[in-house]
Structure 1
Amino acid sequence: MSERIPNYNYDADEVLNDFKSKFAWPKRDEVQAVVKPGKMPLRLLLCALITAVVGGIAYYMMLPALNVHDTQLYLFLILLVVVFAGSFFLVCRANKKAERLEYVKKKTLIPVVIVAVIAVVMLVGFLVGATIFRASAYSDLMTVQNSDFDRDFSDISYDEVPRIDASRAKTLADQQLGSLSQYKSQYVVADATTQINYRGVPCRVASLQYADVFKWVNNTKNGLPAYILIDVVSQKVTVVNCVEKFGSGIQYSPAEYFNEKLIRHLRFQYPTKLLDTPNFEIDESGHPYWVTASLTKKIGLFGGTDVQGAIVTDALSGESKYYPIDTVRKDKSLNWIDVVYSDQLLIEQYNYYGKLKKGFWNSIIFQNDVNVASSGNGYIAMDDDVWVYTGITSSKTDSSNFGFILCNQRTKEVRYYQNGGAIETSAMESAQDAVQNFGYAATFPILLDIEGQPSYFMSLYGDSNTVKGYALVSLEDKTVVGTGLIDTNSDAKALNTAVENYINAMKDKGWIAKTVNAADYVKDEAEIATAGGEQTGGAAEPSAKPSAPTDSKTITGKITDIKSSVNDGNTVYYLQVDGVYYYIRVTDCMQVLLLQKGDTVEITPQGDAKDGFAQAAAVKAK
Structure 2
Amino acid sequence: MKKKIKVFSVLAVILLAAIYYYIYLPAINIHAAGFWVFFIVVALLVAASFAMRKVKKTGDIRSPLDFSEAKKDKRVKISLAVAAAFIVIFLVGSILSSPIINASKYQQLLNVQTGDFAEDVEQISYNQIPLLDRESATILGNRKMGSLVDLTSQFVVSDLYSQINYHGKPVRVSPLSYASLIKWFTNAGDGIPAYIRIDMATQDTELVRLDEGMKYTPFDHFQRNLYRHLRFQYPTYIFDNVSFEIDEEGTPFWVCSVKKFNIGLFGGQTIGRVVLCNAVTGECEDYAVEDTPSWIDRVYSADLLVSLYDYYGTLKHGFINSVFGQRDCLQTTNGYNYLAINDDVWVYTGVTSVTSDQSNVGFVLMNQRTMESRYYQVSGAIEDSAMSSAEGQVQHLGYDATFPLLLNIAGEPTYFIALKDEAGLVKMYAMVNVEKYQIVATGDSVTECQKNYMALMKENGISASASDEGAKQVTGKIAKLFDAVVEGNSHCYVILEESDQIYDVSVADYIAIVRYEVGDTITLEYTEDGEAATVLGIQ
Q: Residue 249 of structure 1 corresponds to which residue in structure 2?
A: 213
Q: Say yes or no: does 1:512 pair with 2:480.
A: no
Instruction: Give the distance between the partners of 1:378 and 1:161, measured in 2 at CA.
Output: 12
Q: Residue 319 of structure 2 corresponds to which residue in structure 1?
A: 360
1:503-530 CA distance string (max 9 Å, x none)? 11111111126x8799996999x9xxxx
Q: Residue 149 of structure 1 corresponds to which residue in structure 2?
A: 117
CA drift at 1:326: 1.6
- Does the 8 Å contact 1:289/1:315 carry over to 2? yes
Q: Residue 537 of structure 2 corresponds to which residue in structure 1?
A: none
Q: Say yes or no: does 1:458 pair with 2:422.
A: no
- Does the 8 Å contact 1:500/1:519 carry over to 2? no
Q: Say yes or no: does 1:495 pair with 2:440.
A: no
Q: Say yes or no: does 1:312 pair with 2:312.
A: no
- Does the 8 Å contact 2:348/2:363 carry over to 1? yes
The alpha-carbon distance between structure 1 residues 505 and 276, as it changes in their structure 2 partners (threshold 3 A), is same
* Structure 2 counterparts to residues 196-345 of structure 1, below 5 A: 196-243=164-211, 248-328=212-292, 334-345=293-304
- Does the 8 Å contact 1:380/1:446 carry over to 2? yes
- Does the 8 Å contact 1:342/1:409 carry over to 2? yes
- Does the 8 Å contact 1:496/1:523 carry over to 2? no
CA drift at 1:357: 1.9
User: Among the aligned pairs, what percent are the same residue?
Assistant: 41
CA drift at 1:193: 1.2
Q: Residue 66 of structure 1 corresponds to which residue in structure 2?
A: 28
The DSSP-based 3-state class of the residue aligned with 1:425 is: helix
The alpha-carbon distance between structure 1 residues 95 and 122, as it changes in their structure 2 partners (threshold 3 A), is farther
The alpha-carbon distance between structure 1 residues 337 and 517, as it changes in their structure 2 partners (threshold 3 A), is closer
The alpha-carbon distance between structure 1 residues 519 and 378, as it changes in their structure 2 partners (threshold 3 A), is closer
The DSSP-based 3-state class of the residue aligned with 2:299 is: coil
Structure 1: where are the runs of 5+ without partners? 1-37, 329-333, 486-493, 527-613, 615-622
CA drift at 1:154: 2.4
Instruction: Give the distance between the partners of 1:368 and 1:100, measured in 2 at CA.
Output: 62
Q: Say yes or no: does 1:123 pair with 2:87.
A: no
TM-score, normalised to structure 2's length? Answer: 0.84
The alpha-carbon distance between structure 1 residues 49 and 96, as it changes in their structure 2 partners (threshold 3 A), is farther
Instruction: Give the distance between the partners of 2:56 and 2:86, measured in 1 at CA.
Output: 26
The DSSP-based 3-state class of the residue aligned with 1:326 is: helix
Q: Residue 479 of structure 2 corresponds to which residue in structure 1?
A: none
Q: Say yes or no: does 1:405 pair with 2:347.
A: no
CA drift at 1:171: 1.1
CA drift at 1:152: 1.3
CA drift at 1:423: 0.4
* Structure 2 counterparts to residues 455-604 of structure 1, below 5 A: 455-485=414-444, 494-512=445-463
Q: Residue 174 of structure 1 corresponds to which residue in structure 2?
A: 142
Instruction: Give the distance between the partners of 1:159 and 1:510, measured in 2 at CA.
Output: 29
The DSSP-based 3-state class of the residue aligned with 1:117 is: helix
Instruction: Give the distance between the partners of 2:439 and 2:66, measured in 1 at CA.
Output: 83
CA drift at 1:79: 1.3
Corresponding residue to 2:17 among 33, 51, 55: 55
Q: Residue 528 of structure 2 corresponds to which residue in structure 1?
A: none
Work out which of the two has the higher radius of gyration on C-alpha atoms and give 1 or 2: 1
Q: Bigger shift: 148-157 or 447-456?
A: 148-157
Corresponding residue to 1:110 among 57, 67, 78: 78
Instruction: Give the distance between the partners of 2:318 and 2:241, measured in 1 at CA.
Output: 31
Q: Residue 585 of structure 1 corresponds to which residue in structure 2?
A: none
Instruction: Give the distance between the partners of 1:198 and 1:96, measured in 2 at CA.
Output: 72
Instruction: Give the distance between the partners of 2:278 and 2:473, measured in 1 at CA.
Output: 40
AA of the residue aligned to 1:104: A
Q: Residue 136 of structure 1 corresponds to which residue in structure 2?
A: 104
The DSSP-based 3-state class of the residue aligned with 2:450 is: helix
Q: Say yes or no: does 1:444 pair with 2:403.
A: yes
* Structure 2 counterparts to residues 20-35 of structure 1, below 5 A: none
Corresponding residue to 2:377 among 418, 427, 430: 418
Q: Residue 391 of structure 1 corresponds to which residue in structure 2?
A: 350
* Structure 2 counterparts to residues 365-376 of structure 1, below 5 A: 365-376=324-335
CA drift at 1:100: 7.2
| CA RMSD across the alignment | 2.3
- Does the 8 Å contact 2:167/2:248 carry over to 1? yes
The alpha-carbon distance between structure 1 residues 116 and 447, as it changes in their structure 2 partners (threshold 3 A), is same
Instruction: Give the distance between the partners of 1:74 and 1:132, measured in 2 at CA.
Output: 22
The alpha-carbon distance between structure 1 residues 165 and 496, as it changes in their structure 2 partners (threshold 3 A), is same
1:325-384 CA distance string (max 9 Å, x none)? 1211xxxxx111000000010001110010112211111222111101111000000011
Instruction: Give the distance between the partners of 2:298 and 2:180, measured in 1 at CA.
Output: 29
The alpha-carbon distance between structure 1 residues 96 and 224, as it changes in their structure 2 partners (threshold 3 A), is farther
1:91-116 CA distance string (max 9 Å, x none)? 44435699974332122111211111
Structure 2: where are the runs of 5+ without partners? 475-481, 483-530, 532-539
- Does the 8 Å contact 2:134/2:161 carry over to 1? yes
The alpha-carbon distance between structure 1 residues 516 and 123, as it changes in their structure 2 partners (threshold 3 A), is closer
Instruction: Give the distance between the partners of 2:450 and 2:204, measured in 1 at CA.
Output: 22
Instruction: Give the distance between the partners of 2:58 and 2:264, measured in 1 at CA.
Output: 46
- Does the 8 Å contact 2:55/2:65 carry over to 1? no
- Does the 8 Å contact 2:126/2:201 carry over to 1? no
Instruction: Give the distance between the partners of 2:417 and 2:136, measured in 1 at CA.
Output: 13
The alpha-carbon distance between structure 1 residues 352 and 56, as it changes in their structure 2 partners (threshold 3 A), is same
AA of the residue aligned to 1:326: E
Instruction: Give the distance between the partners of 1:442 and 1:510, measured in 2 at CA.
Output: 27
Instruction: Give the distance between the partners of 2:51 and 2:435, measured in 1 at CA.
Output: 71
- Does the 8 Å contact 2:411/2:469 carry over to 1? no
TM-score, normalised to structure 1's length? Answer: 0.73
CA drift at 1:159: 4.0
Instruction: Give the distance between the partners of 2:342 and 2:294, measured in 1 at CA.
Output: 10
1:260-303 CA distance string (max 9 Å, x none)? 11111111110000001310000000000000001011111111
CA drift at 1:43: 3.2
Instruction: Give the distance between the partners of 2:79 and 2:454, measured in 1 at CA.
Output: 73
The alpha-carbon distance between structure 1 residues 157 and 105, as it changes in their structure 2 partners (threshold 3 A), is same
AA of the residue aligned to 2:228: R
The DSSP-based 3-state class of the residue aligned with 1:229 is: strand
Instruction: Give the distance between the partners of 2:230 and 2:237, measured in 1 at CA.
Output: 9
The DSSP-based 3-state class of the residue aligned with 1:225 is: strand
The DSSP-based 3-state class of the residue aligned with 2:241 is: coil
CA drift at 1:157: 3.1
Q: Residue 619 of structure 1 corresponds to which residue in structure 2?
A: none
The alpha-carbon distance between structure 1 residues 522 and 499, as it changes in their structure 2 partners (threshold 3 A), is farther
Instruction: Give the distance between the partners of 1:177 and 1:317, measured in 2 at CA.
Output: 25
Q: Residue 132 of structure 2 corresponds to which residue in structure 1?
A: 164
